Structure 1
Amino acid sequence: MLVPLLIGVGAAFGAVSNSSAVMVSKEVPQNAGAAILAPFVSFSIEFSSLPDFAENTSKPNQFSNQILDNLANPQGVKPDRALYDPNIKTQINGTFVPSITEDFPWIISIGPSYFEADSTWPGAKFSHGFNLGENTTAAMDSLTATAPLACKALSHGNFAHWDLGNEPDFYKTMLAARPANWTESDYVAEWLSKSQIVKRQIAKACPDMVTNPAYKYIAPSFAGFTYGLDPVTTWEDGLGKNKDIGMNSMHNYMGSADSPGVTLAHTLMNHAAIVLSMVKHTNLSHTLSEKGLNKDIPYILGEMNSLAHQGQPRLSNSFGAALWGVDFNLYCASQSIGRTRMHQGTDYRYAS
């Protein structure tokens, strides 16, 4: 109905000025940004929510599959609180801790059928996340047990990348999962060690996968720039030593759902706020490139959406937020961001 209305308005107020042709060169300008990846916009799904979004092979979620056919494909699930229990008959067993969050289970165990979710969306590719946050014997046992299950589930043309650890810059601050003196070099040493443990386990179960050039990780998946670990120092300390990082991933939100002063007009429907939100990312991307630290590694926003902490009702799920999504993603494309992954979760307040 909108298009005929606009045509009618044009006819009522007179002729529209003739457009003129614009000549576009076949050559890429020297000052052009980096090419975006295909797909450009994809989804990041909360680890505990994947069974809700995808379900299992006996009852695949056809609604989600149809949406993905219409839109894009998922590119990541967040780990770091999940431990594997081979005796669980359901995909997931989650315990909520309301004092921490009511949005998702804080204590998570997954069973063998969890990985069936990776087979319910034909044509979709997944980046599976391994738990780095838990630093216990049980967590190490879970890591070695789930690597073979994950590789077998993703050996059918549906593998995108691996992800080891979610927002590790929070480990020594907000999450208190590491000592206060845990440094970038400590993180790098742990990441390199555990990524090799994963690779050895996958080599036993899926030998063809580890010899494939597509065997890559997304890293470091930091929440930001000032939460405890510096991304430049992290790369300087050898994060890319093993040449197995396929995408340099950072996270981004326009603010926090529970921060004062967050409004639709000021925070989301405000292009200047979008530009300001992206300045640190463009600066980091340029710095890493100038230092030769991420040669041929695309810079992506591995998790992003309007507001952190799962969005705000009547703001993150508004039409204005949908307009923000269009503006934000297009601006990212213009700033050499290779891909954006819009975060989703069961009953989150995001509408896009």
Structure 2
Amino acid sequence: MNLIGLTRAELATVLADMGEKPFRAKQLWHWIYFRGATDFAQMSTLSKDLRARLADRHSLERPAASREQTSDDGTRKWLLRFSDNREAEAVHIPEDDHGAVCVSSQVGCTLTCRFCHTGTQMLVRNLTPAEIVGQFLVARDSYGEWPTPTDETRLLSNVVFMGMGEPLFNFDNVAKAVSILVDGEGLALSRRRITLSTAGVVPMIERCGREMGVNLAVSLHAATDAVRSEIMPINKKYPLDALMAALRAYPGASNARRITLEYVMLKGVNDSPADARALIELVRGLPCKFNLIPFNAWPGAPYESSSMRTIERFADLLADAGLTAPIRLPRGRDILAACGQLKSASERERLQGYRARLAAMTPAERAAAEAAHGRAPAAAD
């Protein structure tokens, strides 16, 4: 059993089953999440016998960082491999003296948002609490940020669930991961430093605020159902009137703790003055702020980014209406780590290699290979 990803209560049960006293769970928790231990042998406050028995029965398995890339602007991205060889990506976005770790909640995604590269990768499975928390541990390892520093000194100060997948489609595992991230005797992140981004899974939004108490961000990207349904198919199930009602009822939302509305700027799609005026009416009375995001292109993308002049004009219209609307500068574009660009690099490489192998086959060999992969023959590919 991997001990990473267990709650305190579950960890206490593991040790009780080994005949140990409850205080041992607190010691073990300290070593795993405060000191970042990767080996039971490092846990000097535990007896040698207990360390040996733990090592015999359990593990402290993190995702394997099979690739680490650092952008020219300091953004760092990890391709993470899990025990079943599935992969996802995580990113650290640095600021002057702190930064956010963007974590994934699923391998792939079901949402197929047309502007998002991740949406072109089919959903494989949900990530477990261990795999979600493990992404933050890998980032801590990479920056050598152990033991847990105070908020004033830590570089990895925030966690944002804005990576691969829809967090509210993996609610229980995400909620369990959040409970580990915020534990004051371990990783000790404030709930106010954790943001969960959703495409608008309306039935789960109130529960998210009530049970997790984290900041909420919503991928909005349009002010009308017609445009939003075109670029975000989830809007057909949960249209804007239902989404806005759920946001207005979000527990804890206030002017001091506003909901973030993410808005990717797509040339000729959602960037007109009329779109800005429709947005102003849509959010009237909602404690919110906007993040205007220049579209981050990827190979085969169906859109272009609005010009900076258009984005600035759009931002000015929102600001004139009293709305906060900063333009988010793209980060990590050179390593495909920017917003909407996360997709397993190894998946791309495997697909390219697979197509190359198909091209070299005879028609009969190609048909057999396609059948083995559960696909219709790709004679027209």
Give yes or no for TM over 0.5.
Answer: no
> What band does the TM-score fall into relative to the shorter chain?
0.3 to 0.5
Q: TM-score, normalised by structure 1?
A: 0.45
